[in-house]
Structure 1
């Protein structure tokens, strides 16, 4: 269960394209794996069938050759007891010349009949040492030197079986009498000479390809060899290793680095039939299967790559454009539009996105204009409220100074009062420079200092010169100072302090207005923070601080406005944040 949850945690955050690609790979991979398994199984099956076919073919030729040799052996044995052949050698002393010639002709006919019984017989010879005659199925009757029949007689059985080798030819020999020693001349010698060329032709029919080598070796030590190649060198090591070890009639297999060997040994006739087939010939069909498998894997990889490119082009790229559009809209760029000529579903989404952003942009502009107008109306309403009240207090202060006949103070106070009302009644522009706002706030502060006298004092920090030209909403700082006198220092009998400081960094200017009033409670501070945090305008009575906060947010965005906290002096600290980056210059 935990493993499943872990997989879900890893899998769920992935993009749709990643999931689609993973799903495609999960579909293709089992197909490729199944193809690999099927191909491997087919290759192994084919390899087994090829080996079995080679063994079967070799065994067939072995059986055929064994049958022919046994039949020829039986044939020479049978004819060695033939009445004509056996009696002629003993009756020659009493036969006339005509009878001899006639009998030799009959023997020649019999020998020709023997030769025609098998394609492996190249000649049949009949020797009569007593009269020095030789009858050949192919050469007829002729005189023969003694060394020829003596050589044949001496070679009998030299291949450890019925076969004999003489002058590079294979013979099946029978003498009469059979148990005669090799020195005393026999009555007759009958021999069948096998055709090495015909045996080689039949071996070549078995060869799988021109590179295959088939060897027919006679004798327990392979004394006489017939090979489809010129030398049969590729089989010498195999013949030495396998000598006398192969069970009769069974196929022995051996593989070297270059060849597959198949061999059958006949213990009766003492011959071995061995085939060497190059690995390439045996494995060629399997290699074709392997090549198809590699081609399948390559094609699968190509399909995955092409599908990935197609997915990226048709799905991922359009989705990325749409996501970028939403991110720009999220950052406040409501004028963003996606230009594309697509006619598919993404084209429809782009059109709907563009229409949505146009509509949203219109709504935001209308709302922005409406809120600015509302703020201006609120400002004018506040001005209309402040001015009569402030005018009443100012006139009352002039009256008191007149009673004291303090003409100089009246002149100074009247001058400040004139500057104040001249600035407040200038409605043509909705913005002013920060320097002008500071001068206006200091005029208001000077008026209040005259009114409050020794009950309070102020400390004003210097403003950075490059910040004086920043354009800000009109009547920005004066309401903050007014708030200090109304709620912070208004009830203080003496020792009041108002501090105005400027803090500048790379991105913003923070103006701190703080006092040492004693009437601020934690509940009032929380309420003030909640009012400033409200963005829907439902904040009850419109105050000067709220009006300033909203107008700053309208002009400079979410990073601007007012923040409040308790001052280290004990009273309220209002921080006015104004961005100073290039985008706000």
Structure 2
């Protein structure tokens, strides 16, 4: 299940379709294999029955010849020629031979297997056939005159031919009177064997028990000697009929055999397995092709279905990713009327509604932050007010009229700037205000504290900055860093152009900065809600964060002068709309 959950849609589709297709194809293949086995059994049984039938047909044909020979043994003409030829006149002798030849011709024409019918008469040393009257060939008497075994084969194999012999008498001296003989036609036998074949394929073989003689019909597809050895071995084991499977390089071969005890012959038919299993094998091949085609169809169909599902999903995911990065302009359209078109329409409605909600929330947050800025700004203004009146009171009491005049002028410039109805001013205006503030403090501290304000980067003089964000830093130096300074106090303000940002540093040589003090100041800057005496720093930090985002603000560290070094970082982009970075672009 874990693997399934990790799969994408495409392999899930393929796997699902294969689960449906594979069992169907498997069932078809199993049915085909079972059918092949049944057909093989039926065909082998049928072939074995055919071999038995052919052998019985041969037994009938050759058996009728044997019976005819037995009838001719007692023929008067043959008896007279064999035993009474010496008392026959020439005319009777000739007539007897002609009568015998007519009978032999009848015997020859009765069966197509008979090539020649003859009678060997040893007393006359003559061989009478249907058309000839010749001397007995040397060796024939010895080959043909043998004791006949009623339970054995009636055939004699001589000079490569098959002979059906019946000597008279059958007991010694065998053939002393005469020998009736039939020569079996090899071509006719070969043609008959070829007619036994299934669809004319394979080969048939007729052989004696010892396989000294054999005749074949058709074409035996395997080595004849190996067939003979195998069948001879099976017959020797007492198996008079059956079949053997002979493995081949490309296919198997079936050798069906049947032994005839009366004839002493064995009929064998060897066929290629493809001749009767071929059609089923072809169906099996087609089934495999169908299985392969089914898999390909599953892949193509799954791919098509995957594209139908995946393409709209990919468009939808791409649109969601745009929304994720803040791009609410993503819209989806589809010309079809399917379910994905409904999803696209709902997505567009959702984005439209989301845009409306974001606009509402942004306006609300903007109004809240403006109110917070106004509140923070209003908190900064009173910090300096009560101190200024104490100084003015002291100067008037000491009757230092010139300083009162200067102080009141600086104080007027100060409050004119503070009460100015603007949230953002140019950088040079903010720095000019800081100089007025320093002038007021110089009257207060006289020569005890020196202040250095560096030059502003020329290109950033017109940069719009929050009003009253530098004065609290100077005020912090006076009130905390140099609070106990009697003489030699130093405050230094520097400006640096950071390219896309403005960096301002304010440092003093006041109280030595320890790790605990730096940690306390950093805690004030990090937690805007933390209550402390450094309200000015906290307010400035909040205002910078609200206007420029989290990348802007104050950082504190120890100064090389010995006191505290405050660093201000704000955006230097002139097109800055002074909206917080977190909401810019919504």
Same fold? TM cut 0.5: yes
- Cα distance, 1:315 vs. partner? 1.0
Per mean C-alpha deviation after superposition, the further-off stretch among 187-196 and 146-155 is: 146-155
Q: Is the 8 A contact 1:461 1:502 kept in 2?
A: yes
Query: Which of 113, 120, 128 is 1:120 aligned to?
Result: 113
**1:226 aligns to what?**
216
Q: Report if aligned partners of 1:437, 1:474 keep a CA contact under 8 Å in 2.
A: no
Q: Structure 2 vs 1, CA of residues 583 and 472 (structure 1 numbering), >3 Å: closer, same or farther?
A: closer
Hey, what does 1:264 align to over in structure 2?
257
Q: 1:273 aligns with which of 250, 267, 272?
A: 267
Contact 1:562 1:574 in 2 (8 A): no
Indicate which of 239, 246, 251 corresponds to 2:228: 239
The counterpart of 2:242, out of the listed 251, 261, 283, is: 251
Are 1:552 and 2:548 matched, yes or no? Answer: yes
Residues 259 and 266 of structure 2 are in contact (CA less than 8 Å); yes or no, is this contact kept in structure 1? yes
1:350 paired residue number: 344
Separation (CA, whole Å) in 2 of partners of 1:506 and 1:22: 58
Q: Describe how 1:88-127 pairs up with structure 2 within 5 A.
A: 89-92=82-85, 111=104, 114=107, 118-127=111-120
Query: 1: CA distance between counterparts of 2:290 and 2:103?
Result: 68
Question: CA offset at residue 356 of structure 1?
Answer: 1.4
**Measured at CA, do residues 119 and 479 of structure 1 come closer, stay the same or move farther in structure 2, by a change above 3 Å?**
farther
Which ranges in structure 1 are unaligned for 5 or more consecutive residues?
1-6, 533-541, 554-558
The CA deviation at 1:346 is 1.0
- CA shift in 2, pair 1:549/1:181, >3 Å: same
Q: Distance in 1 between matches of 2:567 and 2:213?
A: 117
Please say which of residues 380-389 and 507-516 is displaced more in the overlay: 507-516
Q: Partners in 2 of 1:583 and 1:208 — Cα distance?
A: 100
Alignment-derived partner of residue 307 in structure 1: 301
Contact kept, 8 Å, 2:505 with 2:566, in 1: the verdict is yes
Aligned to 1:405: 400
**Cα deviation code 1:71-100 (max 9, x no counterpart):** 543443454345665466435555677877
1:481 to 469, 473, 477: 473
Match of 2:168 among 163, 176, 191: 176
Classify the secondary structure of the residue corresponding to 1:257.
coil
8 Å CA contact retained: 2:192, 2:217: no
Structure 2 counterparts to residues 471-550 of structure 1, below 5 A: 474-475=466-467, 477-478=469-470, 481=473, 484=476, 489=480, 493=484, 525=523, 529=527, 545-550=541-546
- Cα deviation digits, residues 321-379 of structure 1 (max 9, x gap): 11121111111111222243232111111121122112212332343244334433543
CA distance in 2, matches of 1:55, 1:440: 124
Find the aligned partners of 1:130 and 1:424 in 2 and give their Cα distance.
169
Which residue of 279, 286, 293 maps to 1:292?
Answer: 286
Q: How far 1:17 moved relative to its partner? A: 4.8
Say which SS state the counterpart of residue 273 (structure 1) adopts: strand
Q: Distance in 1 between matches of 2:71 and 2:455?
A: 142
Indicate yes or no: 2:143 matched with 1:154: yes
Correspondence 1:200 to 2:190: yes
Q: Which moved more, 1:346-355 or 1:336-345?
A: 336-345
TM-score (ref. length: structure 2): 0.71
Greater shift in the superposed pair: 372-381 or 337-346 = 372-381
Structure 1 CA distance for aligned equivalents of residues 173 and 145 of structure 2: 11
Equivalence map 1:438-477=2 (5 Å): 439=431, 442-443=434-435, 446=438, 450=442, 453=445, 468=460, 474-475=466-467, 477=469
Q: Note closer, same or farther for the CA distance 1:198–1:348 as it changes in structure 2 (3 Å cut).
A: same
| TM, length-normalised to structure 1 | 0.71
Query: Partner of 1:360 in structure 2?
Result: 354
Aligned pair in 2 of structure 1 residues 383, 530: CA closer, same or farther (>3 Å)? closer
* Structure 1 pair 431–384 and aligned structure 2 pair: CA distance change class (3 A): closer
How many residue pairs are counted as aligned between the two chains? 551
Structure 2 gaps, min length 5: 531-537, 578-586
- Give the match for residue 323 of structure 2: 329
